[in-house]
Amino acid sequence: MTWKCCIVIFLVLFFLASPVRVLGSTEKSELSPEQAALAKKLGVNPNPLIPQFRYRSVADQTWLSPWVVEGTVERIDEDLYGPYHTKVRVKALRYLKGAGPHEITLNVLDGRFYSEYDKKIMRVDTVGSLTFSSGDVDGRFILFLDKHALSPRGRETHYEHGEGEFRTANRYRVVDDHAEPDPGIAEAGSPGAKRYSYQEIVAEILRVAVPQSQISKGTP
Amino acid sequence: MKPFGKAVLLAIAIVLAPGLDWSFVTRTPPRTWHYPSAFFYISTFIPPEFEPAIDEAATTWNAAGAAWFFTPASFAIDAQYGVRDGLSVIDYTTPSDPTIPGETSVFTSGDDAEIVEVDTALNPSLPLSTGFDPNSYDVQSVSTHELGHWLELLHSQNPGDVMFERIDKGQIKRDLSSDDIEGIQFLYPPAVETVKRVAGKPVTR
């Protein structure tokens, strides 16, 4: 009887502990041996979380982004009632990685919104977040995109991105045949702060995106 | 001092600020809280061992000699990061940028003049600890940085500042630098020092 109790307690503890281990392991990426070998060959760090995305090299950013798009910002709309308060409408000139529609929307949480709590228009800003302003309209950008959504507990479905909608993980503005890093990255020494020639950044993106797509058919 | 007088002095100080050797960063003009104090709630999802570190981070700002005070409230079950719910909370949830250890959202009045609520997310997807673990982000250091955003301090470019834009695993930055202190004292000047500041003289600490 005692042994049976011990076994039951062990099994209960084991299953209780399992989710903790899974949560704790989210920092580590799960790559196939082929993907890991390619990452090593290309010289990229495949860990999705460390270091912070916008400070990483373009090669790392490309590896980690399902979509890399070159496009022009056509207009910026505000959405007072939706979960994303700023909608950046972009005409995709070409997908350097992944595939998608020509007209896409970049969802930004920041902006003015109607607050049910206050019963009036309020504003929210996330410190250090990547935002677009009227000065970006007509600007040409290289955009590193994903579908990550802020998911407050119990509201998971509320913040999902729709068809043709993305989150901008980082951007470079193309000016006079150069790709300028986002001005929000002030740490001069970080790889993410590097300024590229247009040809150089496109070549770097394709250097990673093309072989990566060849070993991961079926995923963007 | 009347609010109008404070606003005028603040505006003059902002004009003088570029000529001074400060590296803290804020908006021009900065938004301010209606009262020089904020209640902060700790989400029940925050691991209990993090709570003393968060309280200590608030105490650090409270001791900076500015007319500002963080007031610990209580645990808030319903308060959520990024949701305007009337409760300024430190939550334990993945931020909008999942690759950073902490993130802060600021809710303001529609004219963007007055701060009404601030929420911070500590990122459970990244390793956080309260010890001196070289493989984790230090909770107190991250919390001190994020609470600086509650005060309207933005990212500094001086790596020695708590408000520097980036922190690495294992890095400990629990104490305010002189720039951090200048920042909070600029935004929430001790009343007796306001005139000195406007005159561009060094602040007595």
Which of A112, A120, A126, A158 should be substituted to probe chain B, the one whose Cβ sees the most B Cβ atoms within 10 Å? A126
What angle, 0 to 180 degrees and rounded to 10, lies between the N-to-C axes of helices B139-150 and B178-187?
Answer: 30
Cβ–Cβ of A152/B82 closer than 8 Å? yes
How close, in Å, is residue B184 to chain A by CA atoms?
17
- What tens digit of pLDDT does each residue of A51-96 get? 889 999 999 999 999 999 999 999 999 999 988 999 999 999 999 9
d(CA B119, CA B117): 7
pLDDT exceeds cutoff 60 at A7: no
Cβ–Cβ of B157/A190 closer than 8 Å? no
What local confidence, expressed as pLDDT, does residue B111 receive? 83
Q: Are B142 and B155 in contact (CB under 8 A)?
A: no
Say if residue B128 is exposed, middle or buried (CB neighbours under 10 Å; 0-12, 13-18, 19+). Answer: buried
pTM over 0.80: yes
Say if B99 is an interface residue toward chain A (CB within 8 Å): yes
Which DSSP letter does residue B29 get?
S
Mean per-residue pLDDT of chain A: 85
Q: Are A151 and A180 in contact (CB under 8 A)?
A: no
Measured at the CA of B102, the angle between CA B101 and CA B105, to 5 degrees, comes to 155
pLDDT exceeds cutoff 50 at A12: no
- A172-211 residues touching B, CB cutoff 8 A: 185-187, 190
C-alpha closest to that of B172 among B183, B156, B160, B180: B160
Q: Give the DSSP per-residue string, B71-89.
A: EEEEEESS--TT--SS--E
How close, in Å, is residue A126 to chain B by CA atoms?
4
Ranges under pLDDT 70 in chain B:
1-22, 192-205
How close, in Å, is residue B111 to chain A by CA atoms?
8
ipTM of the complex: 0.81
Say if A133 is an interface residue toward chain B (CB within 8 Å): no
Q: Which residues pair with B120 in a beta bridge?
A: B90, B104
Which DSSP letter does residue B164 get?
B
What local confidence, expressed as pLDDT, does residue A193 receive? 87
d(CA A56, CA A58): 7
How close, in Å, is residue A32 to chain B by CA atoms?
21
d(CA A61, CA A72): 20
- What share of residues in chain B are helix, strand, coil (percent, to 5)? 30, 20, 45
pLDDT bucket at A20, cuts 50 / 70 / 90: very low
Calculate the dihedral angle through the C-alpha atoms of B18, B24, B27, B31, rounding to the nearest 10 degrees. -120
- What tens digit of pLDDT does each residue of A30-55 get? 789 999 999 999 999 999 888 889 99
- What tens digit of pLDDT does each residue of A193-215 get? 899 999 999 999 999 999 999 98
What local confidence, expressed as pLDDT, does residue A158 receive? 59
